[in-house]
Structure 1
Amino acid sequence: MNEHSDAHAGLHSEWGALRGEHPGRSTNPIVKVQDLAWLEFTKPNLDRAETFAQAFGFVTALRTADELHLRGTDPGAPCVLIRKAPRTTFGGVAFRAADDSDVLRLAEATGRRVEPLPESLGGIGVDLVDPAGGTVRVVSDMHALRALPAQTPQVFNFGTDVKRANATQRPPREPALVQRLGHIVLQRTRYLESLNWYLEHLGLIVSDFLYYAGQRERGPVMSFIRCDSGATATDHHTVAMALGPTNRYVHSAYQVCDLDTLAAGGEYLRELGYQRSWGIGRHIQGSQIFDYWRDPDGFLVEHFSDGDLFDSTLAPGWAPMTASGLAQWGPPATKDFLGISPSRESARELRAMITSLSEDNEFDFQRLRGLLKVTSS
């Protein structure tokens, strides 16, 4: 260890930043968003999307011929908005501002207009565009959906610490009810430029940086980024961002009650014939218990439970990126999860690698070698 690692030992990363490395936060962000609000998608078949969503654990908050809103059991806005369209696409991400004044401040700083949101949602929003061309909406004052009945965590006996007597454990094999939207993972060809944009515009702060083995001097290639709520601890990451050959959605994650709920819900999905991508396991960065699934349109979605929470005092950790380093326990990361199994998506990503190497971005031959080492590690 070096002198920079002491503050991180036993916390979340063996190593802290070296002199001159990225600080992981902006000194004067325009606003500090509070959390994710929702994600937006388009899909051609809303019936199929709703059937999977309900099996995954969402509750339908709104359904029309052209629109589907999905929610969790926690109060607040819907987690996912899906609009009917000829093609399946990821439409963008919405963040919840502290209040209307933050939305107005962002609009003034970026030259954008504040617009009323649809009546089904309520409130106002400003639409921004990140350096990759992705839509980022910042919203406030929406209608608040009431909390729904939630699943109850199991009561555990640990050795001589007996909490349950004359009672059995029988977690039902049923959908793992989504409580809330936890995070989204994005890939960017101009990773550092995009990272800085999110830190400066939205006040997000980095929990952990990853770098390619042997390339730390070139800087990070992935960051796990959380909301800055001062002394109030927030999710280890609300956004994770990685360097890659295309600008795309990677996956989104939704919190469920506990491990039993997650596992039983996974068995429910498996019996219905849905595709598990990877799981069950426990991550290293963020510590979440995870289980990844493919929806019928190919989007990767995650059930998670028991994630880390950090307040604003914790500085970023630094670690090398490896496939084996994605989990503390669980099965090895699958080819499907890593995006290297034979599929239309992997073929598209391979073509993008070739194209990206000839373009002006951060994904060059050295970075490609680093990425290939990750997928084989």
Structure 2
Amino acid sequence: MGGSKINLDSLAYVHYSHQDLAKEEKFLKDFGLEEVERVDSRVYYRGTGPQPFVYVAEQSTDPQGKRFVAGGWLVQSIDDLERASSLPAASSIKDSKEPGGGKVVTLKDPNGVEIRLLYGQETLGEKSEPMTSINTPSEKQRKGEFVRMKTGPSHIHKLGHYGFMIPPADYKKTLSWYTSTFNLKVTDSVYNPETNEDLTCFLHIDKGQTYTDHHSFFLGHTPKSKAHVHHASFEVQHMDDQLLGHDWLTNKGWTNCWGVGRHVLGSQVFDYWFDAMGNILEHYADGDLVNEDTPWGREIESPESLYVWGPNIPLGFVTTEMNDANVPIPAPA
């Protein structure tokens, strides 16, 4: 921490534009997000946590119809905004006009992806969430209490992570920029055993001895010619809440991308969905925590590095195309 780096405190929100905003709003409600404010063509959504918003949906003016617009992060001090504003092509420090206010600096990464850094944002009171104690064979926590859950969307607590697929020629440059500009540190990476080159990496916010999520950001290789967002992921209360949300989205007719299953790196129980426009959003529960003493892990690229249980990886998760949902990955020659 410290030094010339910009010290991130936590991930705040993601911002997408959509060609059919009305249809997207129906998905986001079924996904478990709650509308809090509308400003012009933007709709702001929150979860049950203290953040004033965790997702921004905007009416698209792009002929392509959908676009990842920006990722928002909270920084630790006003000095971090000062450092950010001195970077090439960064904005000056401005008043944020979004829910929660505060100060904001906008900049772009090497691939032209917009990043918004916030300080002084006002938080909200947390909303109550459904809690259940777990009875194990050796420890019975729930005595005289019953599990009586209700059907409905998952209860989203916060935005956990997002990340991009990068053309191989730009991967190292992009990773170097993020780790030298911010207090982001690689937790785990997946590598090609033939070349020993990393293909995917998961980065956490380095806050010294303080434990943080296994990853708040990730980068991976793509055969496509342009960097693109792979998915954004939201933490839910627990696995039961996640599975209730899975059934709710299924019954509403939305398209599952991959899940439910258990990741290896990060350990999260995952459930990926295509939204109304074909972006991938994830519900996750029960993720790992790390700190500065956690060693960098490296795993060989294989299905076994992605999940320990769950359905086979579908083609849609690899291509990020809704048309490939439920299509098996072709067997290698």
Fold shared by both chains (TM-score > 0.5)? yes
| Correspondence for 1:366 | none
- Give the Cα separation in 2 of the matches to 1:311 and 1:166: 38
Q: Does 1:133 align with 2:112?
A: yes
Structure label with greater radius of gyration: 1
C-alpha change, 1:341 and 1:106, in structure 2 (3 Å) is closer
1:116 to 95, 109, 123: 95
Pairwise CA distance, 1:145: 2.5
- Return 232-241 or 154-163, whichever deviates more: 154-163
- Give the Cα separation in 1 of the matches to 2:135 and 2:183: 42
Tell me the SS of whatever aligns to 1:138: strand
Q: Does 1:274 align with 2:254?
A: yes
| Correspondence for 1:336 | 316
Trace 1:226-237 onto structure 2 (pairs within 5 A). 226-237=204-215
C-alpha change, 1:30 and 1:165, in structure 2 (3 Å) is closer
Q: Does 1:294 align with 2:274?
A: yes
Partner AA of 1:145 in structure 2: L
| Correspondence for 1:52 | 27
Tell me the SS of whatever aligns to 2:198: coil
| Correspondence for 1:143 | 122
CA contact (8 A) 1:226 1:238 kept: yes
Tell me the SS of whatever aligns to 1:194: helix
| Correspondence for 1:41 | 16
Deviations 1:206-246 (A, max 9, x none): 00111123120xx2121100001111100000001012233
| Correspondence for 1:258 | 238
| Correspondence for 1:315 | 295
| Correspondence for 1:365 | none
| Correspondence for 1:74 | 49
| Correspondence for 1:363 | none
| Correspondence for 1:180 | 158
C-alpha change, 1:99 and 1:209, in structure 2 (3 Å) is same
Alpha-carbon RMSD across the aligned residues, in angstroms, is 2.3
| Correspondence for 1:220 | 198
- Give the Cα separation in 2 of the matches to 1:163 and 1:376: 48
Q: Aligned residues: percent identity?
A: 25
C-alpha change, 1:169 and 1:27, in structure 2 (3 Å) is closer
Deviations 1:15-67 (A, max 9, x none): xxxxxxxxxxx995522211111111111333222211111111111125511
The answer to which structure has the higher helix fraction is 1
The answer to which structure has the higher strand fraction is 2
CA contact (8 A) 1:29 1:203 kept: no
- Give the Cα separation in 2 of the matches to 1:184 and 1:229: 19
Pairwise CA distance, 1:148: 1.8
C-alpha change, 1:171 and 1:215, in structure 2 (3 Å) is farther
Q: Does 1:96 align with 2:71?
A: no
TM-score by length of 2: 0.90
TM-score by length of 1: 0.80
1:155 to 133, 153, 158: 133
Pairwise CA distance, 1:146: 2.5
Q: Which runs of 5+ in 2 are unaligned?
A: none
Pairwise CA distance, 1:340: 7.7
Partner AA of 1:146 in structure 2: G
- Return 328-337 or 259-268, whichever deviates more: 328-337
- Give the Cα separation in 1 of the matches to 2:129 and 2:82: 35
- Give the Cα separation in 2 of the matches to 1:65 and 1:109: 30
| Correspondence for 1:360 | none
Q: Which runs of 5+ in 1 are unaligned?
A: 1-25, 346-371
Pairwise CA distance, 1:323: 2.7
Deviations 1:134-156 (A, max 9, x none): 1111111123232222222x222
Tell me the SS of whatever aligns to 1:51: helix
Partner AA of 1:170 in structure 2: R
C-alpha change, 1:339 and 1:111, in structure 2 (3 Å) is closer
CA contact (8 A) 1:29 1:199 kept: no
CA contact (8 A) 1:208 1:225 kept: yes
- Give the Cα separation in 2 of the matches to 1:292 and 1:220: 24
Pairwise CA distance, 1:344: 8.4
Deviations 1:141-182 (A, max 9, x none): 123232222222x22221142223454433222111100000
- Return 114-123 or 137-146, whichever deviates more: 114-123
